[in-house]
């Protein structure tokens, strides 16, 4: 795979402040084609943005929308969520997958209540110090909620940069230092423009520069794209990770959690034993849920969603 680096900026881009020539067409495209999503509306506030960022990790928008709406209706502020047991966050998470995100969001809400008077902090370092908030989420909240200047690198943005600037079909499997350096190089100097650029590149990757079938005819920077200029070469790097689900421990965990989410009282082991035939895998999945804090074991072979 072609390495992504600041020196890989196409000549057309590097001639105008290291990529500024890309900013206007991408932002203009975004202004015309951005989806009307609830977390992009002013009334969403920083908490709405934070909730969306937790939910959208590895989960498509169409699955997130109904859960997001229900979540904000029930817990419109961080303190509302923090006042409930963490198991209620797991229950409300439903079938979004990767339910540890629900516990992390609950932990972040509790920290916001305790450290910041119930308001999502504006400061990037304070965001990064919240439980469950990593480099990407802190940058996304600071950028999308508060209009600050931070490189926001999700899978969609990384793919746009890999193609348009690096000339590669796909980015590396994990974010690299070279990608972070490139993202900083391409970031507009003006804060509002930088925040708009972050949202625009993300949307471009989600709607046009998609993983499997990029719609280059609709791309506002197709003429500047290094990958197209190189003849759209096939990926020649390490195999891309797939997301298998059927038969995995993830599937078993999901089935076990589904039973516990529906239950109003603790669930006996015998009920959980019915969700999966293979006892070793079932036990491993249940042990993992307990270890992750998603399930609380009680005496007498009973289990429930966590209360503390």
List residues bridging with 220 in a β-sheet: none
Q: Grade residue 20 by pLDDT with cuts at 50, 70 and 90.
A: confident
Q: Grade residue 236 by pLDDT with cuts at 50, 70 and 90.
A: confident
Coil vs helix vs strand at 134:
coil
Q: Count each helix (H run) and each strand (E run) in the chain, helices first.
A: 16, 3
pLDDT score for 101? 96
- Per-residue pLDDT at 69 exceeds 80: yes
Q: Grade residue 243 by pLDDT with cuts at 50, 70 and 90.
A: low
State if pTM tops 0.85: yes
- Per-residue pLDDT at 15 exceeds 50: no
Sheet holding 302-304, edge to edge: 267-268, 302-304, 296-298
H or E element at residue 34: none
- Per-residue pLDDT at 87 exceeds 70: yes
- Per-residue pLDDT at 205 exceeds 90: yes
Q: Is 294 exposed, middle or buried (0-12, 13-18, 19+ CB in 10 A)?
A: buried
pLDDT score for 168? 96
Helical H runs in 213-295?
226-229, 249-262, 269-272, 279-291
Q: Is 234 a catalytic residue?
A: no
Cα–Cα distance between 117 and 6 in angstroms, integer?
A: 41
Mean pLDDT of 84-103: 95
Count CB neighbours of 102 within 10 A.
Answer: 26
Q: Grade residue 16 by pLDDT with cuts at 50, 70 and 90.
A: very low
The tokens describing 243, both together, are 């997301």
- Per-residue pLDDT at 111 exceeds 50: yes
Tokens 């793919």 sit at which residue?
159
On average, the pLDDT of the chain sits at 92
Name the active-site residue from 53, 88, 203, 296. 53
- Per-residue pLDDT at 3 exceeds 50: no
Mean pLDDT of 160-169: 96
Mean pLDDT of 180-195: 96
């Amino acid at each position: 795979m072609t390495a992504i680096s600041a020196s890989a900026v196409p000549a057309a881009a590097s001639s105008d402040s290291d990529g500024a020539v890309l900013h206007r067409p991408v932002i203009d495209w975004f202004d015309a084609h951005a989806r009307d999503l609830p977390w992009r509306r002013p009334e969403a506030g920083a908490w709405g943005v934070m909730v969306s960022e937790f939910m959208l990790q590895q989960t498509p928008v169409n699955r997130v929308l109904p859960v997001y709406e229900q979540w904000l209706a029930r817990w419109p502020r961080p303190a509302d969520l923090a006042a409930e047991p963490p198991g209620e966050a797991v229950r409300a998470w439903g079938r979004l997958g990767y339910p540890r995100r629900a516990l992390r969001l609950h932990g972040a809400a509790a920290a916001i209540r305790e450290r910041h008077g119930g308001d999502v902090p504006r400061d990037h370092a304070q965001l990064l110090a919240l439980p469950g908030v990593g480099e990407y989420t802190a940058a996304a909240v600071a950028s999308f909620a508060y209009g600050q200047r931070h490189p926001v690198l999700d899978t969609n943005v990384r793919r746009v940069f890999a193609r348009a600037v690096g000339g590669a079909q796909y980015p590396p499997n994990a974010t690299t230092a070279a990608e972070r350096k490139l993202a900083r190089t391409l970031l507009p100097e003006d804060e509002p423009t930088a925040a708009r650029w972050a949202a625009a590149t993300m949307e471009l990757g989600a709607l046009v520069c998609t993983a499997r079938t990029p719609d280059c005819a609709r791309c506002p920077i197709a003429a500047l794209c290094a990958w197209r200029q190189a003849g759209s070469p096939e990926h020649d790097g390490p195999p891309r990770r797939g997301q298998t689900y059927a038969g995995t421990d993830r599937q078993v965990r999901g089935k076990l959690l589904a039973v516990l989410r529906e239950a109003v009282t603790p669930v006996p082991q015998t009920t959980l034993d019915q969700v999966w035939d293979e006892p070793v895998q079932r036990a491993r999945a249940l042990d993992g849920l307990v270890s992750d804090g998603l399930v609380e074991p009680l005496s007498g072979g009973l289990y429930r969603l966590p209360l503390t």
